[in-house]
Amino acid sequence: MRYLGSVFTLLFMVAIMTGCVPVGERESCVSREPDSSEGEAGYELFDLVHKEVWLTPDFTAQEYADFSPPLLWVKNDPRIGMADAGEFLRSPGCSDEGQFTYMQAFDKEFLNVVRFIEMNVPTDTQGLIRMTKLEKYHLLTYYSGRTVNILQSPTGERYIEVSRSVDRLSDTFTLPEGWTLTEQYLETDLQVELSGNVSVLRTDNEDSYQGPLPDGIFVRPFEVDPEEYPFRSCAFQTAVGRIHYFDEGPQDANETILMVHGNPTWSFLYRNIAKAMIEDGHRVIALDHLGMGMSDVPLTCEFDYRPRSHADNLEDLVVALDLRNITLVVQDWGGPIGLGMATRQPERISRMLIMNTWAWSVDAEEPGDFHELVSWTVNAKRFASFYPTWFCGLAFPGQSRLNAAEADPSHGSLYESVLSAYLSPAIDATTGAYRTSEPCAPMQIFAESIGDDDAFQGEIEGRIGNLQGKPYSLLFGLSDPLFGALRCNTAAISPCPDGSACSCDEELLPARVNGGCSDLASTRFRVCKEPDGSIIEPYADRFEDLLGSESLVSREGVRDADHMIQEWAPERVIQALRNLLAYPGAE
Do 360 and 256 belong to one domain? yes
Reported as a single tens digit per residue, the pLDDT across 326-337 is: 999 999 999 999
- Among residues 380, 384, 429, 379, the alpha carbon closest in space to that of 404 is found at 429
407 and 496 fall within a common domain: no
- Do residue 46 and residue 179 come from a single domain? yes
Q: Which domain holds residue 509?
A: 485-536
User: Both 500 and 445 in a single domain?
Assistant: no
- Domain co-membership, 429 together with 556: no
Q: What is the pLDDT of residue 10?
A: 52
Instruction: Give pLDDT, residue 18.
Output: 44
* Cα separation, 527 vs 559, whole angstroms: 12
Question: DSSP state, 88?
Answer: E
Tell me the pLDDT of the chain averaged across its residues. Answer: 89
Q: Tell whether the model's pLDDT for residue 4 goes beyond 60.
A: no
pLDDT in tens, 460-478: 999 999 999 999 999 999 9
458 contact partners, CB below 8 Å, separation of at least 6: 360, 361
What pLDDT, on a 0 to 100 scale, did the predictor assign at position 39? Answer: 42
> What separation in angstroms does the CA of 373 have from each of 49, 494, 506?
71, 18, 21
pLDDT (tens digit per residue) in 344-371: 999 999 999 999 999 999 988 888 899 9
Under 8 Å between Cβ of 482 and 562? no
- Asked if the peptide bond before residue 212 counts as cis, ω within 30 degrees of 0, the response is yes
Is residue 145 one of the residues assigned to a domain?
A: yes
Give me the number of domains the chain comprises.
4
252-302 per-position pLDDT tens digit? 988 899 999 999 999 999 999 999 999 999 999 999 999 999 998 999 999
Listed in sequence order, the residues at least 6 apart from 172 whose beta carbon sits closer than 8 Å to its beta carbon are 205
pLDDT above 90 (res 309):
yes
- CA atoms of 154 and 177, how far apart (whole Å): 8
- Domain assignment of residue 223, yes or no: no
Task: State the Cα–Cα distance between residues 311 and 334, nearest whole angstrom.
Answer: 9
Q: What is the pLDDT of residues 166-183, one digit of tens each?
A: 888 899 999 998 888 878
Closest of 584, 521, 574, 520 to residue 553, by C-alpha: 584
Do residues 389 and 354 both lie within one domain? Answer: no
**Whether pLDDT at 22 is above 70:** no
Whether residue 171 sits in one domain with residue 115: yes
Mean pLDDT calculated for residue range 32-45: 67
- 155: pLDDT strictly greater than 90: no
Q: Does residue 218 lie within any of the structural domains?
A: no
Are 292 and 237 contained in the same domain? Answer: yes
Cβ contact 427:396 at 8 Å: no
- Nearest in space to 137 (alpha carbons), one of 74, 77, 84, 91: 91
β-bridge mates for residue 98, sequence order: none
Average pLDDT of the residues in 112-127: 93
